[in-house]
Amino acid sequence: MSQDVISEIFKDHQLARTLYQGFKAETDAASRQKIANNIIREVKVHAVAEETVVYPAFEKYLPDGKKIAEESRHEHEEIKNDMAELEGKSVTDSDFEEKLNKAMEELIEHIKVEEEDILPRFKNHAPKEVLNKLREEYLEKKKQIPTKPQPDDPHKLLKEN
């Protein structure tokens, strides 16, 4: 099977679900902290790469792409804001798990809509060459996104670069 941007998005989605399952199953606070930090980093990097590389292609190739991209950006903004609240907090903080669960519920719903509706339609409308090219751009963008807060703006990595 050929690798395209959609397969990369599915991989990212599966990683987020797997990390979250690992977080819920783990009992050791230090291990939970590492997993939570990974979730936050992976979700933010994925969101920025998807917003900057994939959503413009939704707008171009899907009949209702502009609406889908706007709604998806709004959903990402909520999830990124939730992740920003968690960044730098300890898993032992009284509200950490509740906030993480809320963010992940929003993310899992977003993933479900993408995987069951948006991405299959995108695959049907966008030329294969475009999907392959977008994969390369998506992977490159993910490498360029800072994974630690910038001193001048602690939420900079949450914003589109």
Q: Tell me the pLDDT tens digit for each residue of 130-152.
A: 999 999 999 999 999 887 654 44
**What whole-number distance in Å separates Cα of residue 148 and Cα of residue 123?**
33
Q: What is the full DSSP assignment across 97-110?
A: HHHHHHHHHHHHHH
Query: SS3 for 150?
Result: strand
For residue range 62-116, list pLDDT tens digits in order.
999 999 999 999 999 999 999 999 998 999 999 999 999 999 999 999 999 999 9
